[in-house]
Structure 1
Amino acid sequence: MMQQTSMLLTGNHAAAWAARLARPQVVPVYPITPQTPILELLTDFHARGEMRAEILTPESEHSVLSACVPASLAGARVFTATASQGALLMHEVLHYASGARAPIVMANVNRTVASPWAFWPDQTDSLAQRDTGWLQFYVETAQETLDTVLHAFRLAEQVQLPAMVNLDAFYVSHALEPVQVPAQEAVDRYLPPYAPEHRLDPAVGSSWGNVVGQDMYYRHRQMIEDAMARAIPLAQEADREWAELSGRSHGVLERYRCDGAKAVVVTMGSMCGTAREAVDALRAAGEPVGLLKLRLFRPFPVQALRVALGAVPDVIVLDRNHSPGLGGILHQELKAALYGLQAPPRVHGLLAGVGGVNVSPEAMAAMVRTALAGAPRVESSWVR
């Protein structure tokens, strides 16, 4: 087991520590609430000589990612961070990064998107980017944030796709908790230096971003899909190896008290902690309910979800996001993933916690009971 140091860290500072341990060579960043503490700690590390990286401060998030892409294509390990409107401003370049197969890692602090203007946890910002070709992780705690940033670098560089690590604003980003910070030597073993075979180099003579014909574009998109398919077993392997080093495993998805469950709650991010308490209360009342925490959203682990939920009569999806005209994004994607099973579960979709509304364990348990008392609706239901 590797040496670790216990520190009291917020989710933001855990992300910054993970970035430092990953030894990125280029770190373009732009401050935006509630992500700014990541930038601040990284610049503190740099000022103290504890992090050898080129830290760039462009004039906008669009320019941040525009700096990340060429740095990555030149062979540098690249980290950045953003939130909310910053992620939306990057949208054009998010597509470019994945199309260029640039394995950038970005921490995104999930925050409401305007308008109206607000600063509370809501996952619509990153889920609105689900089709950009980025790997997407959702984390529950500061410890999971640190571990997942390291997993993301490893996975992104193996499949040559960028990765987004999403942590809920304030519930994770600003909440202090004890975090085990691994020794640098252990991270160096887990995450070897990035040395891509193909890179922008005058000695190599490669180029990126050329105009292509229809057939080449078609094949390029196929290759991105193939990379996504490879990412699931590689993510599982990265988690297993990290567990051997650190004693911590997070999985692609996590089952909690699902044995014998007649209903399973499915959600992502910080609501999973609340859901555990709700499940414990329901179990104590004799109600066989479990929790399935989804950590990897892109690629969507369809087969793992079908195995985990295929024999469950009822599934209750809690979405801290809202797609107007569709409802809960996870609700609809999960229904599609389970389609075609011989006896699929009834899938109930609840819009819970949208805009950062606090959902207590008691309220969550009541939501589950209400959902199970009625037939599932095609659309997602608003609940408080």
Structure 2
Amino acid sequence: EYIRVESEHSAMAACIGAAAGGARTFTATSSHGLALMHEALHWASGSRLPIIMPVVNRALGPGWNIWADLTDSLSQRDTGWIQFYCADNQEVFDTIIQAYKLCENERVLLPAMICSEAFILSHTYMPVEIPDQERIDEFLPSYKPKWFLDVNNPFSHGNIVPPEWYMEFRYMIQEAMENAKQLIPEIDKEYGKYFGFEHGGLVEKYRCEDADLILLTMGTLGSEAKTAVDNLRKEGLKIGTARVRVFRPFPKEEIRKLAENTQMFTIINRAISFGMEGFLTEETKAALYNQKDRPLIAGFIAGLGGRDVSFKTIEKIAKKSAEWMQKGEVEKEIVWVDLKE
């Protein structure tokens, strides 16, 4: 059933009601629509409802801008939603199917955002293989929740959780996030066996095995980074790239493992956490703080509001990082790329 509503806040409220009634639910949003949903996002995760929501990442105004920027969804990182960030449209489609299988698992029961960049993906034609419905149904059977609001068996209960129990409910959400971290790679591999497409689990790695310098990215920047890596390898730079596919739960264990044998992380953010730095830079530094041996970390802000970030731009970023790596010192903690002075 398709429900027309008057706002994004109402759209999420409708999904919450439908999911609580045992239905498999879906909605989509972007930018200020996602911001309007903010209150309801907490209700969805706190109610442990496996709602799936693609988010087309667009910049937040003012000034009014409808182009690619990840700040809209990253600013919702603490709402208790799982967050995927996709590099192409095949991955968007595949991740929606994978997300239902993940979120409906009784060890998880959390909602998820499947994020993709505006215009770069949302308004770009590219080949997408859509499997037969029978195969999808085999991979993802009908949703049969154990707990739902049953009109044939009505009951009432209070929704106030006193201080004696509130922390335990929050702990269970955190535990579910940790469970999701274990299940996401397994589901991605299973999907690959069914349909031939895998997307890297939590972190997609490319030519990182012997890399002294690793570019950390999210979304479509991961694709551009691969081209940059190939070109710079030909010039003799031992470089690789890793695309953080899942931002929540944050894959800190994989980031730590990547950091073990490299000299430097260069992190490219298409988003800014005002007063601090890029979201991915923040999270990476936090993940590595207690490690005895840490690589140098340089954070770059690029591509806000849809500004183009090509592989050539990434090559420039990498070469500047390589200079700092040779010196053993990051000269500037936050670099705004191609900023007009």
TM-score normalised by the chain length of structure 2:
0.94
Q: Which runs of 5+ in 2 are unaligned?
A: none
Residue 216 of structure 2 aligns with which residue? 266
Q: Match of 2:176, as an amino acid? A: A
Name the CA distance, whole Å, in 2 between partners of 1:123 and 1:328. Answer: 10
Residue 6 of structure 1 aligns with which residue? none
* Pairing 1:303–2:253 present: yes
CA positional deviation for 1:109: 0.1
Q: Contact (CA 8 Å) 1:331, 1:380: kept in 2 or not?
A: no
Name the CA distance, whole Å, in 1 between partners of 2:38 and 2:23. Answer: 22
Q: Match of 2:2, as an amino acid? A: I
Q: Match of 2:222, as an amino acid? A: C
Give the paired residue count: 331
Q: Contact (CA 8 Å) 1:264, 1:316: kept in 2 or not?
A: yes
- The runs of at least 4 consecutive aligned structure 1 residues that moved more than 2 Å come to 202-209, 374-380
**CA, structure 1 residues 96+353, in 2 after alignment: closer, same or farther (shift >3 Å)?**
same
Q: Contact (CA 8 Å) 1:349, 1:377: kept in 2 or not?
A: no
Q: Match of 1:295, as an amino acid? A: R
Per-residue CA distance 1:309-361 (angstroms, 9 max, x = gap): 22210000000001110110100101111122221111110001122110121
Residue 376 of structure 1 aligns with which residue? 330
* Pairing 1:187–2:136 present: yes
Q: Contact (CA 8 Å) 1:347, 1:376: kept in 2 or not?
A: yes
Name the CA distance, whole Å, in 2 between partners of 1:161 and 1:109. Answer: 20
Per-residue CA distance 1:242-282 (angstroms, 9 max, x = gap): 01101111121111011211100000001111111111111
* Pairing 1:83–2:43 present: no
Aligned-residue CA RMSD in angstroms?
1.3
Residue 171 of structure 1 aligns with which residue? 120
CA positional deviation for 1:208: 6.8
Q: Which runs of 5+ in 1 are unaligned?
A: 1-53
Name the CA distance, whole Å, in 2 between partners of 1:134 and 1:234. Answer: 15
* Pairing 1:99–2:49 present: no
Aligned residue among 62, 67, 79 for 2:9? 62
Residue 128 of structure 1 aligns with which residue? 75
* Pairing 1:249–2:198 present: yes
Q: Match of 1:222, as an amino acid? A: Y
**Matched-pair identity in %:** 43
Name the CA distance, whole Å, in 1 between partners of 2:83 and 2:259. Answer: 21
Name the CA distance, whole Å, in 2 between partners of 1:155 and 1:350. Answer: 32
**CA, structure 1 residues 74+207, in 2 after alignment: closer, same or farther (shift >3 Å)?**
farther
Residue 243 of structure 2 aligns with which residue? 293
**CA, structure 1 residues 264+209, in 2 after alignment: closer, same or farther (shift >3 Å)?**
farther
**CA, structure 1 residues 189+347, in 2 after alignment: closer, same or farther (shift >3 Å)?**
same
Residue 317 of structure 1 aligns with which residue? 267
Higher share in strand: 1
Residue 181 of structure 2 aligns with which residue? 232
Q: Match of 1:152, as an amino acid? A: A
Q: Match of 2:323, as an amino acid? A: A
Q: Match of 1:341, as an amino acid? A: Q
Q: Match of 1:216, as an amino acid? A: W
Aligned residue among 191, 213, 220 for 2:169? 220
